[in-house]
Amino acid sequence: MPSFEHELLVRLFHNRPELAPEVLRDVLGAQLPEYTEAILGCPDVPQLRPVCYTADGVVQLRDGRTRLAVAVEVQLNKDDDKPYTWPVYVCALRARLKRPVRLLVVCPDEKTAEWARTPLVIEGDPDGMVLRPWVLGPSDIPVVEDPVQARSSPELSVLSAAAHGDNESVLKATQYALDAVPEDRTLIYNDFIASKLSSAARKTWEDLMATGTYEWQTDFARKHIAEGKAEGKAEDIITFLEARGLKVNAEQQKRIRDCTDLEVLSRWVQRAAKVSKAEDLFD
């Protein structure tokens, strides 16, 4: 089951495809072709045999036609299968689009990033075909302290806050950046950032958000429950699940809205950030 952290990092690139070339060009120093737009592509890379490999995301850089495709993979831990499946993503996309392909691997910790940077020798001979992933680890993520820069790239600012949250200037810039994204994304980004901060940095973050136009999602939920606003809390749960990209059918929505047990609602609040499908909320 994909974790909340994995799904959130994937969603950063889905919400703003321009983040992929921005990371490759401005952070990692990759040379990219000229293009006018970055769009999401189909992440499935089907084979002739009945097996379908799916990348976490595909971003196409276009200038009337696709100039380059970026296969985005979020990797939380070492996975011995990836050196075999990553080349499939790259080669299948290259064959389908008939354009160059880059592999971008996003790793939240340095140990995994170091592992992912290892060149993949395809032919068993170092002088043969080698795939070299472009890897974004915590040490690669820039310290975004300028509010204007943060606002122009909110998702990069979210990554910066998660990696450099002990820097109050980064948190202040990120607070400003969140004004540039829809409210449903803000709630999720808030929770993700808070989950990555130390206790002291998290307190700073909560204080900053309390002075702005948004309230921190988890405290907001607890406040509603404490006041007995079960109806409002039920709507928050549904909104949060849908903001994470999870489908909540009519029957599930009715069950959530009909619940008046504050302890149950409190439990569902905690699960809403972790489940991979809405029906798991009720287990």
Tell which residue, 73, 141, 139, 142, has the closest CA to residue 111: 139
Domain count, the chain: 3
How do residues 137-155 score in pLDDT, each as one tens digit? 999 999 999 988 999 999 9
If asked whether residues 125 and 16 sit together in one domain, one would say: yes
* Phi and psi angles of residue 42, each rounded to the nearest 5 degrees, phi first: -75, 125
Domain enclosing residue 208, as ranges: 147-214
Average pLDDT over residues 237-260: 85
Read off the pLDDT of each residue in 227-241 and give the average, rounded to a whole number: 69
Is 154:176 a contact under the CB 8 Å cutoff? no
CA-atom Rg of the chain in angstroms: 20
Claim to verify: residue 179 and residue 80 sit in the same structural domain: no
Whole-number pLDDT of residue 126: 62
- Within this chain, do residues 110 and 35 fall inside the same structural domain, yes or no? yes
Do 181 and 156 fall within a single domain? Answer: yes
| Model confidence at 30: pLDDT above 90 | yes
Is 23 found in the same domain as 119?
yes
> Is residue 53 domain-shared with residue 156, that is, in the same domain?
no
Which amino acid is residue 75, in one-letter code?
A: Q
Over residues 10-23, the pLDDT tens digits come to 889 999 999 999 99
The reply to whether 126 and 162 lie within a common domain is no
Which pLDDT tens digit goes with each residue over 42-94? 765 444 444 445 778 899 999 989 999 999 999 999 999 999 999 988 988 89
Among the candidates 178, 195, 214, a domain finishes at 214
Average pLDDT over residues 160-186: 89
pLDDT for res 229: 52
In 10 A of CB 79, how many CB atoms? 15
Same domain, 60 and 135: yes
Confidence of residue 101 (pLDDT cuts 50, 70, 90): very high
Give the tens place of pLDDT for each residue, 179-228.
Answer: 878 877 888 888 889 889 998 998 899 888 776 544 444 444 444 444 44
Question: Does 135 share its domain with 30?
Answer: yes
* Average pLDDT of span 90-117: 93
Torsion angle of alpha carbons 46, 8, 151, 62, nearest 10°? Answer: 0
Note if the pTM is more than 0.75: no
Same domain, 55 and 70: yes
Answer for the pair 141, 109: CB distance below 8 angstroms, yes or no. Answer: no
Query: How much is the mean pLDDT over the chain?
Result: 83
Domain boundary among 186, 214, 242: 214
- The alpha carbon torsion through 122, 14, 157, 78 (nearest 10 deg) reads -30
Coil/strand/helix, residue 231 = helix
